[in-house]
Amino acid sequence: MKITYHGHSVVMMEDKGFKAIIDPFLTGNGLCNVTVEDINELSHIFVTHGHGDHIGDTVALAKKTGALVIANHEIAAYLASKGVENIHAMHLGGRTTFDFGVVKMTNAIHGSGISDDGQMIEGGNPGGFIIEVNHNKIYHAGDTGLTYDMKLLEDEHIDLAFLPIGGNFTMDVNDAVKAVKFIKPKAVVPIHYKTFPIVNADPQEFKKKVKDSVVIVIDFNESIEME
């Protein structure tokens, strides 16, 4: 499986008919070299919460590609009101089997309001996703503070975790290191940093401090391969 990191929290996964993007914040993301116009095919879009730098270009991409959008119930309802037709609503703790594998929605400590025409719309609870594809378990934490709930994820036997390290809005480096100790993934990728000055964390500092898992710092718009 090919995994590409487009900066902030944008992760793309590709594997044998499965082409998905998580939190497609393309427009306005100065770290990302991909635009909506560049993407002609997607099978799935995952949205962790309703903030603009995560729901991002979901509406445009969903309408363009027909991808199935997986999000919490409130975000699903919002997207439907914007004309998105192919939606699967989930909620925290829910686990569902899809044609490509299994998805579980996990807890996150954050907000999820949706900004729409100057109004803040209720976006339900923020979350993360455990996505299992071809025996690979990938955990994307979304935006979250450190929570002891992460200790439960040790039992999920995560192969690759994406954890925010930027601080201010999410865990900082030190809390993300603690999260790794709780989750015990085989490997971890730091995300949600350097997009804006206020989240200017150093992924190399994170890499030096993690002792329990392999840390993979993926350069913006670069890819790695999972077997």
3-state secondary structure of 110: coil
CATH C-level class of 2-217: alpha beta
Joined together, the tokens standing for residue 165 give 């390290």
User: What is the residue extent of each domain of the chain?
Assistant: 2-217
129 forms bridges with which residues in the sheet? 105, 140
* Whole-prediction pTM: 0.97
What's the average pLDDT block by block, 10 residues per block, for the chain (227 residues)? Answer: 98 96 98 98 99 98 99 99 98 98 98 96 98 97 98 98 99 99 99 98 99 97 95
- Strand 11-15 versus strand 18-22 pairing type: antiparallel
Would you state the pLDDT for residue 227? 81
Using CA atoms, how far apart are residues 124 and 112, in angstroms rounded to an integer? 6
